Structure 1
Amino acid sequence: MRRRIIWVRPRKEKNISIDRGRIAEKLEERGKLEERGNYEVVVKTGIDFGLLKLLLFGRYDCLVGTTRIGAVAGLLAKMRAKKVFIDHVDPIEQFRVTDGRFKARVVEGVENLAFRFSDAVFITNEEDKLRVSKRAKKMIVSRLGIDYKSFANTSKNAIEKAESLLKSKDINIRDKIVTYTGGFEDIYHLDKLVLAMKLLKDWLLLLAGSGSAEDKLREIVQKEGLKNVHFLGSLNHNFIPGILLFSNVCVTLCETPRQQKILEYAASRTPIVAPKKVKKMFPRVQATDLEPGEVASNIKKAVKVPDSWLAEFQAETQKYDYEKVADLYEFVIKDLLL
C-alpha cells in the first residue's frame, strides 16, 4: 500500500503570490509517478472539521505542517504516533508584530512543542534557528521557493493578461512604474511607499495585494490627492510575472531579510529597492531608509543599477526554484518514512 503524506498549510491569501503550498504540489505530482516511489501527498489548507477528523481517525503515515497551523496539526498527528515534519517558514517575531505579544506567546509555545516532538524541522529563516536547534531532533536548513521559469521567462499569456488588466485600469504601460506585490500589513511600511509618491510625480505606483492596512493606505492617497497610486487588488499569481515585466522598479520595505517577493522580483530581472537590513542578505538591492524622501530617492537610483547586477541576481535565484526545493523535502521524507 502506498504511504500517505498529509501536508497542512496556513489559509493565507492565495492570490497575492505563489505560496509555500507549491512545494507540496510538486511532491503531490511526483507521488503519482511510479518511478518516484510509493507515496501520495494530500494538500490541506487551514484546519477545519474535515481535517481534524482525518488527523485523528483517518489513514495517513506522515504529516508535514507549515508554519503556525502546521504546528498544531503536527501535535495532533503525534498523538497517533505518526511521522511529523514541521516546515517552519515565518519567524515568530513577525507574528508578534502583526498579532500582538499575547497571541505570539501562545503560538510560540505550541510551535516549541511541535519542534520538540517532530521527527525533523525544515527551517528557512535565520531568526529562529537557535530556537529550533535547541528543541528539534533534526533541523534541516531549507529555502524559500519561487516558480523561477514563470518570472525569468514570462509567458505570452501572462504578458497579455497583465497588459489587459492594466489597460482596464487606465494605466499606461509606457509610464515609469514602481510595483509592490504582497500583503498590506503594518510590518510592510507601505504608508512610507505611498507617501514617497508625492515626490515621484512622473511615476506610477502599482499595489497588488490586500490586507488590514488597505483602508489606511487609501485614506493617505485620498488625503494627499495622489493620482499616481493604483490599487490592483488581490491578483491570481499567474498575473504577477506579467505585472513585473511592465515594472521599472519593485519595492519592499519589510525589514525581514528573507522574502519570497524579493526572489520573484530578482527572477524577473527588475531593479529592487529594499531596506538596509535586507541588503546584508541580498547585496544587489538598492538599499534605503524607511523615510519617504529616501525611498523616493532610491527608486530613482534603482533604475540606474547595472544590467550585469540584474543578470547576476536573476541567476542566483535559480536555486530557489520549487523543483529544486522539493528535491530536499522528497529526499528527507522518503529517507525517514519509506
Structure 2
Amino acid sequence: MATNANAATRERPGLERTGLERPGLERLGLLVHVAGQGDPRTVLDQHLRLAVVAEELGYDSFWIAQHHLGAESGVVPSPFVFLAAVAARTHRIRLGTAVVTLPLEDPVRVAEDAAQADLLSGGRIELGIGSGAHRPSFEAFGRDFEQRRADQERAARVLEDTLRGGPLPGGAPLHPPAPGLADRIWQAAVSGTERARLAAAAGHGLLLSRTTTDPSSPVGEAQVPTAEAYFKKFDTSRGTRPRLGVSRTVYPVADRATAVRDLAPGARSWLAQAATEWAGRDLAATESDDDALLRRHDIHAGPVEAVTAGLAADPALALATDLIVQFQPGLPSFGSAVGALEAIATRVAPALGLRPRP
C-alpha cells in the first residue's frame, strides 16, 4: 500500500499528545489463523487462495499464526512449510509469522527454516516471534509454561545471532545464510511495556494483538502505553526503523446483522476453548447476545462507514506503521472473506490513508 501522508499522520488521533516522531501508517497486512472446522486440506487450500487474493488486491503482507494441537481450530503447526507454499503462488507480498512460539522451538532450527523460506520467497519473510499462551502445547512438548518468557529471551538472542552469521557450537555458521533476515524480526505483545522495550532495544518490530489482558478498557486505549514505550526506547543505531504492527479484527459487510451472523458462531467456539486453555485472558463473563459479544471483543464489523470510523478512532492504530487485519475469532466462508478483503482494500484502507499497491 502507498500512503497518503496527510491522512496517515496529521488527521489520525493520538500523535500530537506524545511529541514523538512516528513513521505513520504505511502498510496493510492480512493475518490468517488457517482455522476451520472442516477437512484440514480444504482449510489449507482456501487460505493459500486467500494469500493470492490479498496480493492481487494490493495488500503489503500476509501473516499466519502458528497453532499446535488444534488450538483456535488452527491447522498450521509448521508455519514455514505453509509460507513456502504461499511463496510458490505469489510474487510480491511479504510473508510473515505471527507468530512462531519460540519457547517451544530450537532457535537454530527456526533460523534454518526461516532462512530456507526466505530464499524460496526471494527475501520476503517477516519473522514474528512470541512466548505463547497455549498451556496444553507447553505440556505436550514438555516445556515449562511458567518460564516461557525467560525462555523466549534466551532463544531470541540465539536466533538473531545465528541469522547474523554468528558461529554455532562447533564453529559452523548458518547455511544457507539469510542476508537481512535478522533485520526483519518482530516480537509480539498483548499489552504492557516490558516486551515493547525489549523489542525496541533490539531494533525489532513490535506486533500488537487484537486483544489485551485488560477487559476493562478498549484494546486501543490499553495498548497506547505499550506503543509509546516502544517508540521511546527504539534503538536506531542498529540500522533499522521502528515498525509497529497493530492487528484488528475487521469485517466490512453490507450490514451489522450479516456481520453478526457470519462471525458470532466462530467467536463463541473460540471463547469456549480459550477460556480453559489460554493464559491471561479474562473470558469468564460472556454475553448471551451475539451483537454484544462482538462489541466486547473489539471486533470492527458491519457497514464500511462504521468499520472505518471505529478504526480511525483507535488510538493504538494511530501510532502504527502496519494495520494487520484478520477475521479471527470469526470463521466466515471463503467467499465472504474474499468480499471483506476487497472492501478493506478498496474502501476502508483508502479512508485511513492507504491505497492499493500497483
Give the shorter-chain TM-score range: 0.3 to 0.5
**TM-score with structure 1 setting the length:** 0.37
Larger Rg computed on CA atoms:
1
**TM-score with structure 2 setting the length:** 0.36
